[in-house]
Chain A
């Protein structure tokens, strides 16, 4: 068996993302592209540069402020950042998150990082935009338990914030829609380019040999069938336990376990979840929607058994896990 890899480095090197650091990441892609030709025909694509998203820095900044604002919760206890800590891989490291009034959530908090690259939001994909996701989190009784009327009443007493909104959103000012957009803009800016992205962009030395082997195995075993695309997942749904029933084995099926069924009410959507992005996966334990799996190794095991319906050698799994650690975001030097 292999010991958990040096996952620690990722956490240490994970940037405390802020607007000015993000600017650094915008230059990241450019600096690499000079080095070599990007790889073609790979099922995974590198993250786009932040620049190419053409986001408004002022909206990002405003969203960043709101992201940390506890006034968004009914009891002034919880902010977005409470469950999506930038220092914890964009999640909170908990099995289930703690929301307003210390309530325990029903599902594992997904990472906020690269969430703009997901085709839908939430495990069950009930939001098709980050804006809508903000709306749902604000209203969720276990998460923030707020409503726009109260929130706007509270925030409108903050003259500085109102003025800033008026400046950034001249037509709307401080409104539910502008708050949603600011938060969504901030989230879209939270991209975490990794060494693997550098590899995809042509930097052959960006990955260690084992990681490269792991990537090959990742593709060979078929992990990549679902974890593909720019976000290494996050662009499709899949049934959890397709080759072997996960829930029968685990037991205690909750409503949250029904996944997409809760949205569509279709039998075929039972236990169907959004395939999560594997970016920063090494930093976002515990795993799966139920947070029942504590380590990446165990998570890989679960996947082999229930999704791939195959077995793999411990070495192969170790290499795959090694590859997965290369997906953690890294920073480059901040350019002035």
Chain B
């Protein structure tokens, strides 16, 4: 769990570092100059549009433009281009730009409104200016018509307050005033001047003033119309000039330049910032590289420590191997010791048997010799008395013959008595018998010793040609103490000589025979020993008619320390050693057992002794009977 968390943390930190790197890279991405270029080109275009606009306004004023469509085209341009421009403004995160844009927009709106006003005034001015000469002409025509008709009427109509002359002079004056006014107004239109304007206004006042005698209705209406239009011209001309002046003053160009400058400034600021980010990126990259290098160092270190650990591990393994080897050696040693002790146990058993075997002939050799020793007093007496007789007979009597004779007789009787005792007791034959017995006993002992020698083959090479049948003979002799109460049936076949360690094979035989005897009872026990040649060599069977081995134990009987005997009676190593010896000879040992019927051990041995086993065998022999 902790490890997972640590890994997660590591991953998060890595992702974070990469994200920062990515962000920095993004920050240092070259600035999109197309945006600023687009803005610049749009602003340049706007400047151009504005200039054309001004020109079109002037053209409209001067009547070169026949309509106001041209004056409205900037609106279409704005409609089309404003969104992009505004987007650029909104995207530029600079208050300066926004303010400049707002100011520019305000200026443009001012101008649009002023132009709208201009169109209104210009249309009216144009119409009135255009109409006034016509209107004045119409007035003239009307005056002429009225004067003519009045002149004809005036003769008949004397009820008129004014004289026809006065009436016509009024009209003539009116016409003249109207004409003057028109001239002055047109002058004013061409060159607006306060003085002219005042004059025009004066003339208009004159025109508008009710004359002493009222004009005919038609003429009055015409005059009113003229005054109305003339006043319109004055008013519209003045407003138009003001509007045009205002239009001129709308600082669109300045605002465009201001906005462009703001954009430029922000662009430069962005460049500067980008440069800073670039430096930051370089620093960060350097940091990352350093971190990476550290990480690699750490990895390299950990690899190295791993190597060291490996080396240490190898060392440890070697040590362990050594320890294990030592332990194995110890084990082997103790195994050998165990085997040795088993051997010593067998030997002890054997020695006990042999001692018993030797003891019997030794006892009666000793008894015979003791009897002989006792008989030797009689022989000694006989020899001494006979020697005394001989001396009496051969020596010159030194005295009394009689006594001598007497002595001689006496001596003779003694010798006779002893001698007859000898004959009577058949002492000589008894001595001879005792000597024979003694010799026989010694012969027996000599035979036992000889068998022992045969059994252990101490006088032979460790591996030698061996007759198994002879081995069985000598083993049976060695084990006489054990086998003497059993019926031993030998069915020894014509087996070949085999190369083996005779002492070990004898040990095997002794062990098997010993086991067979122990498995049977004294009265009924029959141990059958069979030898027969096989393809590879020979087979030895040791059968008994004992109680058999329990099937549960069959698989364990070759295990070391497995025994069913009472504690102290067996080591549990016997069969284990037997199996080992047989295996080391390249042979095999099998067992058949039926509970209550008997057991049969079969040992198969090859003719040739395997050379590669020599070593193990010699090891085995180190603890052997040597």
Contact = CB atoms under 8 A, between A and B. Distances in A.
B601 interface: no
Interface stretch (A4-12, A138-146, A226-234): A226-234
Contacts of B117: 268
Given A128-B75, A222-B130, A235 B120 contact: no
A41 B67 CA distance: 10
Interface stretch (A42-50, A65-73, A86-94, A168-176): A42-50
B15 to A, nearest CB: 32
Contact of B131 (A42, A238, A264, A310): A310
A85 interface: no
Given A128-B79, A236-B119, A308-B127, A229 B69 contact: yes
Interface in A209-243: 222, 225-226, 228-230, 235-239, 242-243
A238 B113 contact: no
B48 interface: no
Contacts of A128: 75, 79
Interface stretch (B156-164, B224-232, B384-392): B224-232
B66 to A, nearest CB: 4
A225 B127 contact: yes
Contact of B75 (A119, A226, A228): A119
A262 interface: no
A226 to B, nearest CB: 5
Given A230-B69, A268-B117, A225 B123 contact: yes
Contact of A228 (B67, B131, B232): B67
B50 interface: no
Contact of B67 (A44, A239, A310): A44
A309 to B, nearest CB: 6
Interface in A263-294: 264, 268, 272
Contacts of A239: 120
B79 A129 contact: yes
Interface in B106-128: 113, 116-117, 119-120, 123-124, 126-128
Interface string B224-262: 010011001000000000000000000000000000000
Contact of B66 (A43, A268, A308, A309): A43
Contacts of A41: 66
A237 B124 contact: no
Interface residues of A, number: 29
B149 to A, nearest CB: 20
Contacts of A308: 127, 131
Q: Looking at B66, B130, B228, which has the most chain A CB atoms within 10 Å of its CB? A: B66
A180 to B, nearest CB: 13
Contacts of B79: 128-129
Contacts of B349: none
A157 to B, nearest CB: 30
A272 B116 CA distance: 11
Main secondary structure of the interface of A (DSSP, over half): loop
A228 B75 CA distance: 17
Interface string A301-314: 00000001111000
A209 to B, nearest CB: 23
A309 B120 CA distance: 15
Main secondary structure of the interface of B (DSSP, over half): helix
A222 B79 CA distance: 31
Contacts, number: 71
B120 A225 contact: no
A43 B228 contact: no
Given A228-B68, A230-B69, A235-B67, A222 B127 contact: yes
B68 A229 contact: yes
Contacts of A225: 123-124, 126-127
Nearest to A42: B66
A43 B67 contact: yes
Contacts of B120: 236-239, 272
A226 B68 CA distance: 9
A129 B79 CA distance: 7
B228 A309 contact: yes
Contact of B225 (A228, A230, A309): A309
B564 interface: no
B72 interface: yes
Nearest to A117: B69
Contact of A243 (B67, B75, B232): B232
Nearest to A238: B120
Contacts of A228: 66-69
Contacts of A229: 67-69, 72
B613 to A, nearest CB: 93
Nearest to B124: A242
Contacts of A272: 120
14 contacts: A42-B66, A44-B67, A45-B67, A128-B75, A129-B79, A222-B126, A222-B127, A225-B126, A235-B119, A236-B120, A236-B123, A243-B229, A308-B131, A309-B228
Given A242-B124, A272-B120, 15 more contacts: A225-B123, A225-B127, A228-B67, A229-B67, A229-B72, A235-B67, A235-B69, A236-B120, A237-B119, A238-B119, A243-B228, A264-B113, A308-B131, A309-B128, A309-B225
6 closest Cβ pairs, A-B complex: A222-B127, A228-B67, A236-B119, A229-B69, A43-B66, A225-B123
